[in-house]
Amino acid sequence: MTVVALLGVVALFYYLYKAFFTSWNKTFDYSDEDKEFWDHRISEAINNCTAISNSARLTKSSSTSEKVFKELGSAWSEEDRIKFVENKKKIQLKQKKLDHLFLQIKEREKRKDGLVIINARYGVFNPPDFRALVNVTVPLQCFVNSKSSTIVIKKEMSMSSLPGFGDPLEGFINNYVQHLNKELQVIYRTNGSLKMKTFIENEQGFEVTLPFEGQ
């Protein structure tokens, strides 16, 4: 009986050992599969995140390129395009100093249904391939007279010399620059009506009057 009992105990231990080892091995194998599964999912997530990020960057880049293309014609060289971006940044820095005054005057004119500049662009409009435009909405609004709600500017010089303006073609290397005429195109609201007017700059200077008589 003693031998039989001893053999039984050994058999029991052997069975328990096999059961434990098999169970542990299965658990270990399952963990590896689980780890592989989650590694795959994490990899997918990273790839998706990268794809989304690249897509967003591409969309932003396309949007920026489209905006620059609208402001700048296709005939300009890469050097001139780079110079345009530099000129635009300089002009924007000048306009930044006028932000507070711009908001004050705009709110004042809106309250009394006066002269509100919706959008103003200055530069070369034609021919379209040589287009070069900068936004001058902020400085032009600052010229509105508080009493008459009008703008009257007459100068024997270029509009680019006005505060908050600037020459979008400054430093361009293309010789065709000297043959291009600059214009100021304004969309504005006065007395509840939306209107548009273009002022052309010439060798004698320019004259800007808003609201324009006859409109």
Q: Assign 3-class secondary structure to the chain.
A: CHHHHHHHHHHHHHHHHHHHHHHHHHHHHHHHHHHHHHHHHHHHHHHHHHHHHHHHHHHHHHHHHHHHHHHECCCCCHHHHHHHHHHHHHHHHHHHCCHHHHHHHHHHHHHCCCCEEEEEEEEECCCHHHCEEEECHHHHHCCCCCCCCCEEEEECCCHHHCCCCCCCCCCCCCHHHHHCCCEEEEEEEECCEEEEEEEECECCEEEEEECCCCC
Q: Residue 124: what pLDDT?
A: 96
pLDDT computed for residue 43 by the predictor: 52
Q: d(Cα 113, Cα 71) in Å, to the nearest integer? A: 30
- pLDDT of 59 reads 46
Which pLDDT does position 19 carry in this prediction?
A: 45
The answer to whether residues 131 and 124 touch, using CB atoms and an 8 Å cutoff, is yes
Which pLDDT score is estimated for 214? 57
pLDDT at 22: 42
The tokens for 203 are 């060798």
Instruction: List, for residues 102-124, the tens digit of each pLDDT value.
Output: 999 999 999 999 999 999 999 99
Considering the entire predicted model, what is its pTM? Answer: 0.67
pLDDT of residue 61: 40
Task: For the chain, list residues with pLDDT below 50.
Answer: 4, 7, 9-31, 33-35, 38, 42, 46, 49-69
